[in-house]
A and B are shown apart, each in its own frame.
Chain A
């Protein structure tokens, strides 16, 4: 029977049994320090950009912060799903900004009007706009957010590798660290328990290779294992270092042998070194060709 990894550590502070907490609760628990830091920054009136890879728990973080600041602030959480107007409408609704004209025959406000209304409202203070997946937001909305920053608007942007320009450059940024192996193991264990699965530590250790420090992947690999489709090693987390350049550099260093051969007048060493150098060049070509990576899923 599986043992909860991390049960020995001091991470678990809550008295609730492990299985009773779902993945999101655990993510909140493990990101407590980050949350505290973000909240204290926001309380000081400082807008913030939080970076983290897909699945690192940014959205969960946003929701938690909205919940905690809900009593003090009027909080709007929005993400962009293809329509700037819908995003603006969602923000307006969260902030309690009217979305219709105030005459006898109310008409919905246009996107431009919404921008102005929301900006006005944000300037009243004690308003927080949380922009989830801010890297997806179109330029029009990003420029508008810059406008909000110039006023008294308080923004929290959550983004995964956003471009280094406009609003993203202007905010102090904070990067979410990958979770520790212990934390990931706890999330995997909780997920497996929630699914009613018994997985032994060997399998956990094996599955965890595909997770890195990414809590969403931690849950996904458990589900893949459950479905029996986890055979193919997925390599979706970002904590990889491509060692090819080091290897090539190491191989090229064999060329030194050739020059030692020349220097010492040792013909044999010269030949061996020359052959090795050309082999290294061949391997280099091979590795460079192999390294053209497809970003598409599937074969």
Chain B
């Protein structure tokens, strides 16, 4: 088998096996796949370590000692220190080496996989069905390996195979919530929703960024209007979706900070808060009876009045300002989230 086929197969197996797209890890696998062939001076790796190759070549048949489970175990032991650094590299070395010789079991000559037992492992048993070096069949194998690598790397970048399947076939807020739980800490998560508004009975179609998610519902902000809605099948959802498509957006860092407020004017406090913050928490306000009811009824109630206090959930500073500009906060504790 050609060394490029070994490399391609090793890369494909590593990429699929551990779901990585890291070029350094894949390159390590490709290099490791060349190591079994140090038993012949016809290979590049063999010419590189000539004295060892010469030693092996004079004593052993080709594809014997180095093409075995024993040698793979030895390589695994030697590569073990990598586990303390990055385990992906360890897997790349071991899988790369293993594939480097295991692929030869599909060739006419087979490999002495169970060395020191001299029996040669062959798959399939029928020699005519096995591969010849540089035969059209080998080029097919090479092409398939390259294709699988490309597919795998694409899937990995999109979150892996099962996630891609979920996003393709299960277009509901459950999938969106799962994805948000998985990636929400580091990436923006968007949903493109088609559905109906529960109260207004208008059809809804738009893109929203998820702010919070429960098991099957999400609280998301319309990217154009900055209105916040609860989307899902829950009783209190504003939007009932028929189709939800999830996309991962740019990387994002969310910082959260707790504030305990005491005797401070709303205006005075909000000046210190960034304009793009999301504020959750509860405030006890002086003369609460005089506060007007929250303006918008068809969106998610980010500001709610409840027994003598104001409850906030992902409220924008502007909303609070619009409603409570002149009020005085007796006390309260809030969590301020800011996307950096």
State the CA gap A3–B256 with chains docked (Å). Answer: 74
Residue B85 at the chain A interface, CB threshold 8 Å:
no
Instruction: Check B118 against A5 for contact (C-beta < 8 Å).
Output: no
The residues of A that contact B59 with a CB separation of less than 8 Å are: 5, 181-182, 185
Other A-B pairs, 9, CB within 8 Å; known A209-B110, A235-B122, A239-B119: A5-B58, A185-B58, A201-B58, A212-B120, A241-B120, A243-B121, A268-B165, A272-B165, A287-B123
Assess the A205–B39 pair: CB atoms within 8 A: yes
Contact assessment for A202 and B41 in the assembled complex, using a CB-CB cutoff below 8 Å: yes
Q: Which of A68-88 contact B (CB under 8 A)?
A: none
List, in ascending order, chain A residues with CB within 8 A of B170's CB. 267-268
Residue of A nearest to B122 (CB): A240
Which A residues lie within 8 Å of B163 (CB)? 268
Which residues of the other chain, B, contact A291 by a CB distance below 8 angstroms? 124-126, 129
Q: Could you say which of B61-69, B228-236, B310-318 contacts chain A?
A: B61-69
Q: Are A205 and B40 in contact (CB under 8 A)?
A: yes
A292 on the B face (CB < 8 A): yes
Number of interface residues of A (CB under 8 A): 39
Q: Compute how far the CA of A178 lies from the CA of B67 in the bound complex, rounded to whole angstroms.
A: 20
Q: Within the complex, which residue of B40, B110, B128, B165 is in contact with A206, where a contact is CB–CB below 8 Å?
A: B40
Report yes or no: A243 in contact with B122, Cβ–Cβ below 8 A: yes
Closest to A299 in B: B128
Q: Does any Cβ of A come within 8 Å of B162's Cβ?
A: yes
Asked if residues A244 and B125 are in contact (CB atoms below 8 Å), the reply is yes
Name A residues whose Cβ lies closer than 8 Å to a Cβ of B: 3, 5, 178, 181-182, 184-185, 201-202, 204-206, 208-213, 233, 235, 239-244, 247, 266-269, 271-272, 287, 290-294
Is B162's CB under 8 angstroms from A181's CB? Answer: no
CB pair B62–A178 under 8 Å, yes or no, is no
Smallest CB separation, A59 vs chain B (Å): 23
In this assembly, does B266 line the interface, its C-beta being within 8 Å of a C-beta of chain A? no
Q: Let me know if B124 and A201 touch, CB within 8 A.
A: no
A208-B61, A211-B61, A291-B126 in contact; A239/B120 too (CB < 8 A)? yes
Contacts of A204 in B (CB 8 A): 57
From A184, A201, A242, A269, B162 is in contact (CB under 8 Å) with A269
A123 → B minimal CB distance (Å): 43
Report whether B61 and A241 are in contact in the complex, using a CB–CB cutoff of 8 Å.
no
Q: Determine the residue in chain B with the shortest Cβ distance to A209.
A: B109
Tell me which residues across on chain B come within 8 A of A242, comparing CB atoms. 122-125
Contact between chains at A201 and B54 (CB < 8 Å): yes
* Cα distance A210–B118 in the bound complex, in angstroms: 12
B12 to chain A, nearest CB (A): 15
Q: Which residues of B contact A212 (CB under 8 A)?
A: 118, 120
Task: Please state if A241 and B39 are interface contacts (CB–CB under 8 Å).
Answer: no
Provide the B143-156 mask, 1 if CB < 8 A to any CB of A, else 0: 00000000000000
Q: Which of B41, B64, B113, B127 is most buried by chain A, counting CB atoms within 10 A of its CB?
A: B127
Question: Does A209 lie within 8 Å of B120, measured CB to CB?
Answer: yes
User: B60: nearest residue on chain A (CB-CB)?
Assistant: A181
B105, B108, B126: which contacts A290 (Cβ < 8 A)? B126
For chain B, residues 20 to 77, give those with C-beta under 8 angstroms from any C-beta of chain A: 39-42, 54, 56-64
Task: Find the residue from B39, B122, B125, B163 having the highest chain A CB count within 10 A.
Answer: B125
Q: Which residues of A contact B39 (CB under 8 A)?
A: 205
Residues of A near B62 (CB, < 8 A) are 205-206, 208-209
Contact B162 A268 (CB under 8 A): yes
10 contacts between A and B (CB under 8 A): A182-B59, A205-B57, A209-B61, A233-B109, A239-B119, A239-B120, A244-B125, A268-B162, A268-B169, A292-B126
* Bound Cα distance from A204 to B64, whole angstroms: 13
Q: Is there an interface contact between A244 and B124, defined as CB atoms closer than 8 Å? A: yes
Q: Are B132 and A293 in contact (CB under 8 A)?
A: no
Distance between B15 CB and nearest chain A CB, rounded to angstroms: 16
Tell me, in angstroms, the Cα distance from A194 to B38 when the chains sit together.
30
Taking CB atoms, residues of chain B closer than 8 Å to A205 are 39-40, 56-57, 60-62
Question: Do A271 and B169 have beta carbons less than 8 Å apart?
Answer: yes
Q: How far is the CB of B299 from chain A (nearest CB, A)?
A: 31
- Contacts A205-B39, A235-B108, A271-B169 known; A213 to B118 CB distance under 8 Å? yes
Residue pair A181, B113 in contact (C-beta under 8 Å): no
B125 and A181: CB pair below 8 A?
no
- Asked if A247 and B123 sit within 8 Å, CB to CB, the answer is yes
Residues of chain B in range 93-109 having any CB-CB distance to chain A below 8 Å: 105, 107-109
Return the contact of B105 from the options A185, A213, A243 (Cβ within 8 A). Answer: A243
Residue of A nearest to B129 (CB): A290
Q: Is B166 an interface residue (CB 8 A)?
A: yes
B327 contacts partner chain A, Cβ-Cβ < 8 Å: no
Kindly identify which residue among B57, B108, B123 contacts A233, using a CB–CB cutoff of 8 Å. Answer: B108
Please name the residue on chain B nearest to A290 by beta carbon.
B129
Q: Complex: how many Å from CA A208 to CA B119?
A: 13
Pick the most buried of A235, A267, A268: most chain B CB atoms within 10 A of its CB: A268
B169 proximity list for chain A (CB < 8 A): 267-268, 271
